[in-house]
Structure 1
Amino acid sequence: MLPVNRMKPQSRASSSWSPSGVDLADSRRKPHFLWRTIFTALLIIGCILVLKHSSGHRVTTAFSQHEHGVTHVLVTGGAGYIGSHAALRLLEDKYRVTIVDNLSRGNIGAVKVLQDLFPEPGRLQFILADLGDAKAVNKIFSENAFDAVMHFAAVAYVGESTLEPLRYYHNITSNTLVVLEAMAAHRVNKLIYSSTCATYGEPEKMPITEETPQHPINPYGRAKKMAEDMIIDYSKKPGMAVMILRYFNVIGSDPEGRLGEAPRPELREHGRISGACFDAALGIIPGLKVRGSDYETADKTCVRDYIDVTDLVDAHVKALHHAKSGNVGIYNVGTGKGRSVKEFVEACKKATRAEIKVEYLSRRAGDYAMVYSDPSKIKKDLNWSAKYTDVEQSLATAWRWQKSHPNGYRL
């Protein structure tokens, strides 16, 4: 006889039977199961959308596509002193501008001024990024349709470079390589490089021409020259249009008072002499400390070629306009006239109408006695020449901005 499977009767207390023949416990679980199913489906859809986006399905914007008649310029370091003035000029000239800056030296306040002046869609965008991050830089190039790069981003204090040389080689030379690699990968073939007269060092003859041998005497100048060398080598690639501008000591600010120079307080010691003069005039520091009074110059202080930032920016925009495929243009950007530090200090006193105490100290490492330009080549090729050549007037313009912005862009 086959074994009989005897089932133990269920007690009524534990029974969930219903007249419809449906287990009530199952019935209660169904809504929960339905919501879990819906949630899972939504999650899968979300994942698909993310995957599509990461594989190239991006939202199209004015910045991500080329537009006939509009030149889209990437301005590296566009939150800094010179870069922000360049971005302003480009925007006024109807260029489309993307600023990339890590704000280590730049000011978000300058970007905000530009955004308020040009709020229209497709005119200006700001991207917070470090050019030392190759992955981030490549992403920026992949998501934007750049027609040209104006490369300002750099730490730029001679004295600081002698104290932190590796930082300068990384920030200037290595970061420029990252930019060049991104340009190559995304076929951006026009570069305006903001270089420096520091690549010349201390030449035997004055004025400095573009043919003057380059023998930089400080890490800042050497890092810039290395970057120039890389750019010149890479420019041999077919289709490249390159302009290298070696400019001299920058002063001044936007004549309409919209932008100015606002270095971080901890960097004042390394900054430009104009900033130190203004700090002394404002009483932020007790007086002006001049490094070196034993140079072989007429009054024993350094001689420099002071170029107004408005003129400098004009030279960059003209270089962009004249950049030609298969050509490398190298130009000095200066006034062609040298002025001593003593002369500069006197001009600053007149511009600020302040009594400035001056203390002369020993020379600063990496400095040179005399440097001024011969700007005849840029005059001939680009029809550019400095217009704001009155140092006192340039300082007076910058002083007006300083007085109205005693805390920089932090009003």
Structure 2
Amino acid sequence: MDYADPKKKSNLVGKILLAAALTALCILVLKHSSTFNTPSAFSRHEAGVTHVLVTGGAGYIGSHAALRLLRDSHRVTIVDNLSRGNLGAVKVLQELFPEPGRLQFIYSDLGDAKAVNKIFSENAFDAVMHFAAVAYVGESTLDPLKYYHNITSNTLVVLEAMAAHNVKTLIYSSTCATYGEPEKMPITEETPQLPINPYGKAKKMAEDIILDFHKNSDMAVMILRYFNVIGSDPDGRLGEAPRPELREHGRISGACFDAARGIIPGLKVRGTDYKTADGTCIRDYIDVTDLVDAHVKALEKAKAGQVGIYNVGTGKGRSVKEFVEACKKATGKNIKVDFLPRRPGDYAEVYSDPTKIWRELNWTAQYTNLQDSLQTAWRWQKSHFNGYGPPLPMAV
């Protein structure tokens, strides 16, 4: 017959009581600590501080906008699924603004309505700058469903979350592609919107959703339709680093730099038979620093219950051939150029009339020298041969 040892039993009970006492003590310490009682700075509104949700803030334009907002002492939350953005850009911002309560990054997909609602429920946003979108005309003609889902559907998810959580200011990143190919130039905000590719159509649908919702809302809405974006941060902290597999769909500036760096054998100019002076497309190239400034001014001027719609451009069209020559001078490289047939979904001539945004928001483009903007971007490219990844050697 076995008998329990009373000493062992006593020791066991003592250990249990000691563990319970230590646990209770830990809980008591946590409850009385400032971090336990004080909610995150991102979860509460603070007088004098504007907390801005920047969707797509790891992307080219979104990261530059986040940099400017942080520099202007705003609180910033970046939400990005990194399908087109770069975590390296977020890390640069975190290094520049390491103070608690300034910047947070949330990895999430705007197509997941439950995840988006959770983000809004856990954070006290004062405004949303909605940049997140796939944005290549050529790709949109090949995979239109991706564009309608990513742009139109995801914007609806964001708008529903804003409405549910009483976030009252929306700055929407739209595009001149919603106008299609107008009969008259320059394009004003009254120019009919007749998009000719899925990218432009998806953006216009998103605009329509926002405007229909606003009819019975006191939300402050600013819609910025911008033209072809170039350049990078003048101080060399951020730049454009698209996915290698998307090079064929990317901006002409990226293709020029890839050709200058020898990544691709030359530049492909699609379309030389347009009804323009030199036969190539004409576009209005806006520097990303100016574009971001327009967003900040829109945020400052946004008024409850009102909608502002603005073109963001220089008001001057430049041909693709002119652009290529400026890129050659900016890089100092003799870039090989191949002239090919037109790309589906493209249009001959597009440039803006920026009168309205100058009159109402006191905004006008400052970085209007094409070669200077390209030189700024080229400096970043040369020092970031591998984008935001580990540095690689480069002969220039």
On whether the aligned pair clears a TM of 0.5, the verdict is: yes
Are residues 24 and 320 of structure 1, via their aligned partners in 2, closer, same or farther at CA, if it must alter by over 3 Å?
same
Name the structure 1 match of 2:235.
Answer: 256
Write the distance in 2 (CA, Å) between the matches of 1:31 and 1:183.
Answer: 58
Q: Provide the C-alpha distance between the structure 1 equivalents of 2:180 and 2:77, rounded to a whole number of angstroms.
A: 33
Distance 1:58 1:364, change over 3 A: farther
Which secondary structure does the structure 2 equivalent of 1:321 belong to? helix
1:144 matched to 2:146: no
C-alpha deviation, 1:226, in angstroms: 0.4
The answer as to 2:223 corresponding to 1:219 is no
Deviations 1:106-132 (A, max 9, x none): 001101111111111111111111101
Displacement of 1:34 after TM fit?
A: 8.1
C-alpha separation in 1, matches of 2:291 and 2:14: 67
Q: How far off is 1:235 after superposition? A: 1.4
The match for 2:30 is none
Structure-2 separation of matches of 1:288 and 1:170 = 31
Offset of residue 24 of structure 1: 2.4
Deviation at 1:362, TM superposition (A): 1.0
In the alignment, what sits opposite 1:406? 385
**Aligned partners of 2:248, 2:370: CA distance in 1, in Å?**
22
Residue of 233, 236, 259 corresponding to 1:280 = 259
Aligned residue in 1 for 2:184: 205
Q: Residue 368 of structure 1 aligns with which residue? A: 347
Tell me which amino acid in the other structure corresponds to 2:4: L
Structure 1, 34-43 or 172-181: larger mean CA deviation: 34-43
SS at match of 2:208: helix
Q: 1:22-80 deviations in whole A, cap 9, x for unaligned?
A: x327886776688789999999xx9xxxxxxxxxx996111110000000000000000
Separation in 1, partners of 2:127, 2:144: 30
Letter of the aligned partner of 1:323 in structure 2? A
Matches within 5 A, 1:290-309: 290-309=269-288
1:340 maps to 319
CA–CA distance in structure 2, aligned partners of residues 281 and 308 of structure 1: 20
Alpha-carbon distance in structure 2 between the residues aligned to 1:230 and 1:37:
62
The two structures have a TM-score, normalised by structure 2, of 0.92
Aligned to 1:88: 67
Give the letter aligned to residue 242 of structure 1: V
Give RMSD over aligned pairs. 2.3
Give per-residue Cα distances to partners, 1:152-201, cap 9 Å, x unaligned. 00000000001110011100000001100100110001000000000000
Provide the rounded CA distance (Å) in 2 between the counterparts of 1:38 and 1:179. Answer: 50
Percent of aligned positions with the same letter in both sequences? Answer: 78
CA distance in 2, matches of 1:319, 1:279: 34
1:24 aligns with 2:4: yes
Residue equivalent to 1:393 = 372
Query: Equivalent of 2:107, from 128, 136, 140?
Result: 128
Question: Secondary structure of 1:94's match?
Answer: coil
- Distance between the aligned counterparts of 1:26 and 1:206, measured in 2? 97
Aligned mates of 1:58, 1:133 — CA distance in 2: 31
Once the two structures are superposed, the pairs formed by residues 47-126 of structure 1 within 5 Å of their partners are 60-126=39-105
Aligned to 1:181: 160
Q: Would the alpha carbon gap of residues 353 and 181 (structure 1) be closer, same or farther in structure 2, given more than 3 Å must change?
A: same
In 2, Cα distance between equivalents of 1:100 and 1:151: 10
Corresponding residue for 1:6?
Answer: none
Tell me the CA shift for residue 234 of structure 1: 1.2
- TM-score normalised by length of structure 1: 0.89
SS of the residue corresponding to residue 343 of structure 2 reads coil
Gaps of 5+ in 2: 27-35, 392-396
> Quick one: distance in 1 between partners of 2:190 and 2:182?
11
Deviations 1:130-162 (A, max 9, x none): 101111111111111000000000000000001
The counterpart of 2:247, out of the listed 260, 268, 281, is 268
Q: Secondary structure at the match of 1:74?
A: strand
Task: Tell me, yes or no, if structure 1 residue 172 matches structure 2 residue 181.
Answer: no
Alignment-mate amino acid for residue 244 of structure 1: I
Residue identity opposite 1:297 in structure 2: T
Distance (Å, rounded) in 2 between the aligned partners of 1:390 and 1:124: 33
Aligned partners of 1:298, 1:251: CA distance in 2, in Å?
A: 23
Letter in 2 for 1:233: D
Q: Which amino acid aligns with 2:50?
A: T
- Quote how far apart the aligned CAs of 1:236 are: 2.0
Distance in 1, Cα, partners of 2:234 & 2:338:
31
Other structure's SS at 1:24 match: coil
Q: Residues of 2 paired with 1:208 and 1:359: CA distance? A: 30
| Structure 1 segments unaligned to the other structure (5+ residues) | 1-14, 17-22, 47-56
Q: How many correspondences in the alignment?
A: 383
| AA in 1 matched with 2:337 | V
Question: C-alpha distance in 1, partners of 2:80/2:18?
Answer: 44
